[in-house]
Structure 1
């Protein structure tokens, strides 16, 4: 059910964004020009999200913990996805450093809401994503 809610929200946001796009200000245009393509294609992102969603389901989080978990993950993943925006002018090394800092902050927040087993599971799951990003950006461990 949650997948359908996320897809519905995504479609709604896409339609809303398209209607708002017709009334762009100069600042909006500058921000759009500064945006850089993401590391993954839409299909790759969908596959990663589906895989991660299934792994998180395996953690059997209580509903309130799941809500907190999703909120924290989404907050940090969004910020991570914006690290290569042109308006930030980050070097490849700075992107790597900031990415690692965000992962550390995210993990610290998550550790406080998860059991030890759940946290270990999270580290394994997100570690796969982190390694994938490292491969895409050719980061060294």
Structure 2
């Protein structure tokens, strides 16, 4: 249950506003206020989250590996979700470039902990999400 909740929270961060606790620091409050509209509706986010969760379950990761996998994905997904924050003032091209860099770094970290089959599965699964983000931003998708 802990893994399920942790994973759902992480994926939600990619496409949703971050909801902080009521005792926010000034910096957290400023970050939240600078957040711009999300790319996905609540229903789209829920569907995407469930789909990815099911695909990761299909990978049959043991508990420790799943914890590591979720930690890495959540870390990068959070950073991806903040790329369009108003305070960053990134251009569309800069968002595209930084998104690609984050995906590359995430994949590099995951490659070190997953088997070849698990890594290929991850690339296929996250590739679907990446293509969805590209479609929403109207980015050109170039398969690596």
Mark yes or no: TM-score above 0.5. Answer: yes
CA deviation vs aligned residue, 1:23-77 (integer Å, no higher than 9, x gap)? x75x565433311112112221111111001000000011111000000000000
SS at match of 1:53: helix
Name which one, 1 or 2, has greater alpha-carbon Rg. 1
The question of whether the paired residues in 1 share the 8 Å contact of 2:80 and 2:102 is answered with yes
RMSD: 2.6
Is the partner of 1:73 in helix, strand or coil? helix
Q: Does 1:116 align with 2:116?
A: yes
TM-score by length of structure 1 reads: 0.83
Where in structure 2 are there 5+ consecutive unaligned residues?
A: 11-17
Q: Match for residue 63 of structure 2?
A: 63
* TM-score normalised by L of structure 2: 0.81
C-alpha distance in structure 2 between counterparts of 1:44 and 1:30, whole Å:
27
